[in-house]
Structure 1
Amino acid sequence: MASANAFAIFANLGCANSGLSKFKVQFCGRGLSVNCSQSPGFIAAKGSKIREFRLFKSVEVDRFITSDGEDEMSEGFFEAIEELERMAREPSDVLEEMNEKLSARELQLVLVYFSQEGRDSWCALEVFDWLRKENKVDKETMELMVSIMCGWVMKLIERKSDIGDVVALLVDMDCVGLKPSFSMIEKVISLYWETGEKDGAVLFVKEVLRRGIAYSDDNREEHKGGPIGYLAWKMVAEGNYKDAVNLVIDMRECGLKPEMYSYLIAMTAVVKELNEVAKALRKLKGFTKAGLIAELDAENTGLVEKYQADLLDAGVRLSNWVMQEGGPSLYGIVHERLLAMYVCSGRGAEAERQLWEMKLVGKEADKDLYDIVLAICASQKEAGAIGRLLTRMEVTSALRKKKTLSWLLRGYLKGGHFDDAAETVIKMLDLGLCPEFLDRAAVLQGLRRRIQQSETLETYLKLCRRLSEASLIGPCMVYLHLKKHKLWIMKML
């Protein structure tokens, strides 16, 4: 081999979630020649006792590794490199024979040398396997090898290599006992995601599950973790809620059993998507009131309702799978997610049922949720549900009663049920509670617009009298015009 004064390998691996240090290898010696400027590419490797390994592009690292402060490598280092490159014997035999001649740092540099472009990457794996069996893998060596593996994976992804090659690399990593402190499967998913290869990430997850590659993460709860759940979480984090739902359902229908966590993530995605639809509808309503756009026609309204219904159906399917395959400890979470779905889509009766289902499994919903569901039921005039929900109010404080009845009142107002809203205002006054000014005004305005109806007139007069008695409005004069008799009637309240 030609002599060289030095060689360096640089990389920017960006190993997110791995906790890795970055390496920069730089050492001096003789008998080595490395050209790091050429474009990455590997030559074929010979078969090994692990399996015939593909060769990948060079690894570049950026933390200094020196040879224990020495300017030159020992003779043993160069002898080991030459012997390993000849491939006349198994790497483990060569390293066993030269064990006493190589320092811990030189063994790391052997790994780096064979991870370069044009070198036999199979040999790097064999060297690491031998180091592991000899208990010579410290934290720094593990980080170095993980950096090398991440670099190989990144190069495969950048070259748009076959998904099977990436999965096979993970299998090789497991064969040599490379166990990073993070999930390598999650790391690969992140690499695909960060390079914009989102379809590649989905295909990678399918291949991992199809081959049954073991997945473990000691930091997760028993029912969490898994490639599908992690990929679905990535989609949700970017706001692709519908994609996350479709991913989990498609995986299930393909026969690739998702983990429990993925079902729960998908149910969360359904809630978020329904919430986005609700926000969009509120904006449209505001634009319509402002005269900026026309109201949605029947066809478009039907499409929106169908989209919401399809999302709810997906959420129910997911909840059924969790109930079937998960333990009782998950039932409360499932009913909580279903409650959120029905609240976001304005389904009062279904939402009320989930409140009681949660209570039955020992998971009490927040008091504000009861009020929100009460308001939805009031807007839809679900008398039975309203009566059941109001029974909780009897044993609460005056402040809580006022809050609950205010939600009920606003629900009636939203649904256009002004007579019921007026009765609620009177009930609040009877309990010694003072309705908010805007709520009182909204009820009076709603009744006034419909005052031509005889029943509404009586309700309006009754409400005005009651508000006057409570000193919430001043004395007022009501004018009634009987058109048939051309008669005006004035009444003081």
Structure 2
Amino acid sequence: MAGSLTNSGLNYHFAPRRYRFLVPRFRMDLDIKSCSRVSSRICRIRNPTSVFANRVNVREFRYFKSVELDRFVTSDDENEMSEGFFEAIEELERMAREPSDVLEEMNDRLTARELQLVLVYFSQEGRDSWCALEVFEWLRKENRVDKETMELMVSIMCGWVKKLIDRGNEVGEVVDLLVDMDCVGLKPSFSMIEKVISLYWEMGERDGAVLFVKEVLRRGIAYSDDDGQGKKGGPTGYLAWKMMDIQERTCNSSFANPTTTTSQVVMSGGIFVLRLTAVVLVLLPEVSPNEFEEEGNYRDAVKLVVRFRESGLKPEVYSYLIAMTAVVKELNEFAKALRKLKGFTKAGSIIELDLENVGLIEEYQSDLLADGVRMSNWVIEEGGSSLYGVVYERLLAMYICAGRGLQAERQLWEMKLMGKEADQNLYDIVLAICASQKEVVAIARLLTRMEVTSLLSKKKTLSWLLRGYIKGGHFCDAAETVEKMLNMGLCPDFLDRAAVLQGLRKRIQQSGNVETYLNLCKNLSNASLIGPCLVYLYIKKYKLWVVKMV
């Protein structure tokens, strides 16, 4: 089969002679006899003169126990093998002529089932596995590859790949096998590259998976960027998803009771040493730190893509989007851990973080955002304008998780300019973040959308605004928002009203300014949301108590 075959952008040259480099020959547990008939070479065939009485046991054709061939080869096949089948096997074993010439000559004498059995025979360990590929290529050229034959050959190929990984062969040999598969026209309904990555991953060979993807990128092996279901992908992105999937299944951390020793706080891959002189919080993952690092995490998925890109390789564009998703997930987990940490601080279980640790937290978050922005630049640079909307959507999610109000608002308008309108809930969330940071101009811009919405949507938007003010400790602005809702005929939720009143009471004790509190009580009373109340005020300078009915 001399010449050159081109499939999916791959060029591969075949030499006139055949090489057994795919699966090396090994001594089998079969007693090989020197006989003129192939069927009598197997120890189960004891009478070499009776070809039809002693058929090759099809179950001896198995290549690996892990490859299930029962659905393709049954015990009935043992009695259906013709004389032509054994002659074809013998002629192919001699390697005196090209397999295509042998099969062309015996085409009319071989059934579709017998041709499948030829594939199974040469897929056995110890047989000429290259011949199986040549037989399949001939079948494809003759348009004799049906669905069953394709599934059979795919099963054989998967078995070969698994065997190479089991034996610890170099990743280059695995890639060579995929190249051979592509050259003979074997096109499974799934991505074979992704299948190999999964095999490495499931067998615990994660370094091997990384090396395999690097080799695929280095050689420029063609791959499909669509999985047949409309989802884009590629080897780098698929490996990154594998890392993220492990993170989601193993990184469910739980808080232990406070202790009086300095320890490390492990937050979804970010490790901060809290040098506290008193009680500190210990965040104990369900797995040990060493095991956690072995399992991988979102940050490792991001670093993988960055490392490939900066080493001169060219990951697929969609791997950058997947890395941006990993940044979003990491920021989200990081924010959850910080909220729990602040909860323990508020409860008095630990003292507040010192400036050094606050700086470490801000630095880690900034590094994550910088990685996400870098990925977005690569997508825009290599992917073109069609992906701008998706990029801004990822950036929006990043800035929301990081609590960056102004940057998040900018992404909302960028998406709108690209014709990709964000959900109303996202506008409300960004509004709340801006309110907590008292970004007056941004709040005014975001509230302009409320003018054309329904009354129910107005209440929802103003409730988010109110909660943002409460979270940021801006209780005077929160009181104004409550009054605005009452004037519009909207009823703020009970917990929101109670939080504003409680915050204003604390401010009275600090500043002595009671006007805002009294006005809010009056408006709530007029709306029948609270009953009449007496407000007691003590003026220490004059030793005077003032009682007022509201």
Q: TM-score range by the shorter chain?
A: 0.7 to 0.9
Amino acid at match of 1:148: I
Contact 1:425 1:440 in 2 (8 A): yes
CA distance in 1 between partners of 2:66 and 2:244 (Å): 34
Residue 459, structure 1, aligned to residue 467, structure 2: no
Q: How far is the alpha carbon of 1:420 from its aligned partner?
A: 1.2
TM-score, structure 2 normalization: 0.77
Residue 288, structure 1, aligned to residue 296, structure 2: no
Equivalent residue for 1:278, pick from 332, 335, 355: 335
CA distance in 1 between partners of 2:52 and 2:200 (Å): 36
Contact 1:57 1:117 in 2 (8 A): no
Amino acid at match of 2:185: G
* C-alpha spacing 1:124/1:390, structure 2 compared with 1 (3 Å): same
2:325 aligned residue: 268
Bigger CA drift: 132-141 or 66-75? 66-75
**Structure 2 matches for 1:91-490, cutoff 5 A?**
91-216=99-224, 224-239=232-247, 240-454=297-511, 456-490=513-547
1:24 aligned residue: none
Contact 2:436 2:468 in 1 (8 A): yes
CA-based RMSD of the aligned residues comes to: 2.8
User: 1:198-239, CA deviations, whole angstroms, 9 ceiling, x for partnerless residues?
Assistant: 221111111111111111256559993321122222223333
Bigger CA drift: 216-225 or 348-357? 216-225
User: 1:352-407, CA deviations, whole angstroms, 9 ceiling, x for partnerless residues?
Assistant: 11111111111111111111111111111111111111122222222222211111
**Structure 2 matches for 1:33-52, cutoff 5 A?**
none
* C-alpha spacing 1:193/1:437, structure 2 compared with 1 (3 Å): same
User: 1:156-175, CA deviations, whole angstroms, 9 ceiling, x for partnerless residues?
Assistant: 11112100000001111122
Q: How far is the alpha carbon of 1:131 from its aligned partner?
A: 2.1
Among all aligned residue pairs of Structure 1 and Structure 2, give the percentage whose two residues are the same amino acid.
78
Q: Please state whether the residue corresponding to 1:258 is helix, strand or coil.
A: coil
Bigger CA drift: 184-193 or 239-248? 239-248
Bigger CA drift: 188-197 or 122-131? 122-131
CA distance in 2 between partners of 1:29 and 1:149 (Å): 32
* C-alpha spacing 1:58/1:381, structure 2 compared with 1 (3 Å): closer
Contact 1:232 1:247 in 2 (8 A): yes
* C-alpha spacing 1:327/1:455, structure 2 compared with 1 (3 Å): farther
User: 1:2-29, CA deviations, whole angstroms, 9 ceiling, x for partnerless residues?
Assistant: 445869xxxxxxxxxxxxxxxxxxx996
CA distance in 2 between partners of 1:289 and 1:488 (Å): 33
Q: How far is the alpha carbon of 1:94 from its aligned partner?
A: 2.5
Q: Please state whether the residue corresponding to 1:489 is helix, strand or coil.
A: strand
Q: How far is the alpha carbon of 1:62 from its aligned partner?
A: 2.9
* C-alpha spacing 1:35/1:259, structure 2 compared with 1 (3 Å): closer
Q: How far is the alpha carbon of 1:258 from its aligned partner?
A: 2.0
* C-alpha spacing 1:491/1:31, structure 2 compared with 1 (3 Å): closer
Contact 1:182 1:217 in 2 (8 A): no
- Structure 1: which 5+ runs fail to align? 8-26, 41-55
Q: How far is the alpha carbon of 1:186 from its aligned partner?
A: 1.4
Q: Please state whether the residue corresponding to 1:191 is helix, strand or coil.
A: helix
CA distance in 1 between partners of 2:347 and 2:44 (Å): 73
Contact 2:226 2:232 in 1 (8 A): no
Q: How far is the alpha carbon of 1:328 from its aligned partner?
A: 2.1
Across the two proteins, how many residue pairs are aligned to each other?
458
Amino acid at match of 2:427: Y
* C-alpha spacing 1:434/1:133, structure 2 compared with 1 (3 Å): closer
Bigger CA drift: 379-388 or 425-434? 425-434
Amino acid at match of 2:138: W
2:275 aligned residue: none
CA distance in 1 between partners of 2:58 and 2:418 (Å): 66
Amino acid at match of 1:192: Y
Contact 1:183 1:217 in 2 (8 A): no
User: 1:227-284, CA deviations, whole angstroms, 9 ceiling, x for partnerless residues?
Assistant: 1122222223333322221122222112222222111111111111111111112222
TM-score, structure 1 normalization: 0.86
Contact 1:6 1:28 in 2 (8 A): no
Q: How far is the alpha carbon of 1:443 from its aligned partner?
A: 1.0
Q: How far is the alpha carbon of 1:462 from its aligned partner?
A: 1.9
CA distance in 1 between partners of 2:90 and 2:218 (Å): 41
CA distance in 1 between partners of 2:511 and 2:141 (Å): 93
CA distance in 2 between partners of 1:337 and 1:34 (Å): 55
User: 1:404-463, CA deviations, whole angstroms, 9 ceiling, x for partnerless residues?
Assistant: 111111111101111111111122222222222211111111111121345632211222
Contact 2:344 2:350 in 1 (8 A): yes
Contact 2:58 2:77 in 1 (8 A): no
CA distance in 2 between partners of 1:402 and 1:412 (Å): 15
* C-alpha spacing 1:58/1:262, structure 2 compared with 1 (3 Å): closer
1:492 aligned residue: 549
User: 1:117-171, CA deviations, whole angstroms, 9 ceiling, x for partnerless residues?
Assistant: 1111122222222222222222212211111111000011111210000000111
Contact 1:58 1:115 in 2 (8 A): no
CA distance in 2 between partners of 1:431 and 1:72 (Å): 86
Contact 1:57 1:116 in 2 (8 A): no
Contact 1:67 1:73 in 2 (8 A): no
Contact 2:305 2:320 in 1 (8 A): yes
Contact 2:55 2:78 in 1 (8 A): no
